[in-house]
Chain A
Amino acid sequence: MALVILLATPLLAALSTLAVRSRAALLEVFAAIAAPVEFAAAAMIVVDVIGNGKSEYGSYLAVDSLGAVVLITVALVGLAASFYSIGYLREEVRKGIIGFSRVRQYFALLHLFLLAMFFAILTLSPIGMWIAIEATTLSTAFLISFYNKPSSMEAAWKYLIINSIGLLLGFFGTLLFLASSAESGMDRFIDWGVLTREAAGMNPMLAKIAFIFVLIGYGTKVGLAPMHTWLPDAHSKAPSPISALLSGALLNVAMLAILKFKIVSDAAGAADFSRNLLIYFGVISIAIAAFIIILQKNYKRLFAYSSIEHMGIAALGFGFGGLGTFAALLHMIYHSLAKSILFFAAGNMFVKYSSTKIARVKGVLTALPVTGVVLLIGFLAITGMPPFGIFITEFYILSAGIGGHLPVVVGVLLLLVLVFAGFLRHVTGMSFSEAPESLLSGESNYLTLVPPVLLVFLFVAAGFYLPESLNSLINAAAALING
Chain B
Amino acid sequence: MTQTIFWIIQILLIPVLSPFFIGATRRIKARLQNRAGASSFQPYRDIWKLLHKDEVISEDASWLFRAAPYLIFATTLVIGASIPLMSTALVNSYTGDFLVVVYLLALGTFLLALAGIDTGGAFGGFGSSREMLVAALTEGGLVLSLLTVALISGTTNLMAIPQSIGSVPFSESLPVILAFIGFSIAMLAETCRYPFDNPSTHLELTMIHEAMILEYSGKRLALIEWSSANKYLIFITLGANLFFPRGMADSLELAPVALALAVFLIKVGILCVAVALLESSIAKLRIFRLPDLLFTSFVISAVAVGLVG
A contacts B directly (C-beta below 8 A): no
By a beta-carbon cutoff of 8 Å, the part of chain A in contact with chain B is: none
